[in-house]
Amino acid sequence: AELGATGERGPRIEEPAPEAGPAVAEALPALVEEFGVEPPDLLERHLRYAVNHARDHHFELTPEECVSYLRGFAWQYRNGVRR
């Protein structure tokens, strides 16, 4: 197989960003309820921050990593750790 020419792009694959995927969408309301997060959109906003920070450093989080991050943040929130 030949390598493509410099600057050549492969076919574009449409897939949702990990933070917008079904695993995260399903986990968000359950985590908000389980950990009593107020305001309810706090987890979603903080995940956006974390995902953007990872992308700034050329890392892409998987959906599983996003859910794990959300659970950890919600756990800290419930225990009074604010950042």
Is residue 9 domain-resident?
A: no
Q: For the whole model, what pTM was predicted?
A: 0.75
- Looking at residue 67, its amino acid is V
Total domain count for the chain? Answer: 1
- On whether the CB atoms of residues 67 and 30 are closer than 8 A, the answer is no
Identify the domain containing residue 52 by its residue range.
Answer: 18-78
Is residue 83 domain-resident?
A: no
Q: What is the predicted pLDDT for the residue at 52?
A: 93
- On whether the CB atoms of residues 62 and 18 are closer than 8 A, the answer is yes
35-71 confidence digits (pLDDT tens): 999 999 999 999 999 999 999 999 999 999 999 999 9
How far lies 74's CA from each of 2, 9, 43, 80, 82, in Å? 48, 39, 7, 10, 10
1-30 confidence digits (pLDDT tens): 566 566 666 676 666 677 888 999 999 999
- Token pair, residue 70, equals 């959300």
Is residue 74 domain-resident?
A: yes
- Token pair, residue 59, equals 């890392």
Average pLDDT, the chain: 86
Q: What is the predicted pLDDT for the residue at 21?
A: 87
